[in-house]
Amino acid sequence: MTTITREQQKQILIDTANHVISRDNTSPYSENLRELARIALASLEAEKGADPVVFTDERNLHHIARGRETSLIWGKQNQEVGDIPLYRHAQPVPVVPDEMATSDDMNLYQKSFAQGYNACRNAMLNGGKSRKRIKSGSL
C-alpha cells in the first residue's frame, strides 16, 4: 500500500481538475468532476485539528456537489470507516457598499434614489433589524 501525503493529494487534485477543465467538456460528468475536485481541495485545505461537522460517503458526494438538500449526511456518533468528513469553513464577511451622498444639486428623483439606497445599506448593516420606517410619500 502506498502512502500519499496531503501535499501530494492536493497536487493530484489540482492536476486532475486542470486536465478536466482543459479537455473538451462535452461529457455530462465534467462539471461534476470539477465540483468534486473543488470540494476535495477545500477539505484538504481545512484547518488542521478542526473537527468535521458531519460525515457522508462517496455515493452521496455528487448530490452534495449539486447542492441537493436530500443528501445523506450523519453525525460523528454514526461514523463508520471510510466515511468522508465534511467541514464548515469561516464564511466571508459581507461587503456593504459606501453610503451615497446627497447634495443640493440633485433633482428630486436623484435624492429619492440616494435615500432609498442608503436605507437599503443601513438595513444591510443592521441585519434587517431597522426600526425606522419610511412612509410612502414622505420623500
Question: What's the pLDDT tens digit per position in 48-90?
Answer: 556 767 777 777 777 777 766 556 666 666 666 777 777 776 6
For the cut 90, the answer to whether the pLDDT of residue 4 exceeds it is no
Instruction: Write down the domain spans for the chain.
Output: 1-45, 48-59+69-90, 92-139
Let me know: does 12 contact 5? Beta carbons within 8 Å: no
0.75 exceeded by pTM: no
99: left (phi over 0), alpha (psi -120 to 50) or beta: beta
What SS3 state is found at 64? helix
DSSP state of 56: E
Per-residue b or e along 66-105, where b marks 16 or more CB atoms closer than 10 Å to that residue's CB: eeeeebebeeeeeeeeebbebeeeeeeeeeeeeeeeeeee
pLDDT tens digits for range 86-126: 777 666 677 788 899 999 999 999 999 999 999 988 888 88
Cβ atoms of 12 and 4 within 8 Å: the answer is yes
Residue 54: predicted pLDDT: 75
**Cα dihedral 81, 82, 83, 88 sign:** positive
Please give the pLDDT value at position 128.
61
Question: Above 60 in pLDDT, residue 47?
Answer: no
| DSSP-assigned letter for residue 76 | G
Stretch (H or E) spanning 54 = strand 54-56
Q: Which of 19-23, 80-84, 124-128, 131-135 has the lowest mean pLDDT?
A: 131-135
CA distance 20 to 29: 10
What is the rounded distance in angstroms from the CA atom of residue 37 to the CA atom of residue 61?
A: 11
Name the more confident of 54 and 28.
Answer: 54
pLDDT for the residue numbered 16? 72
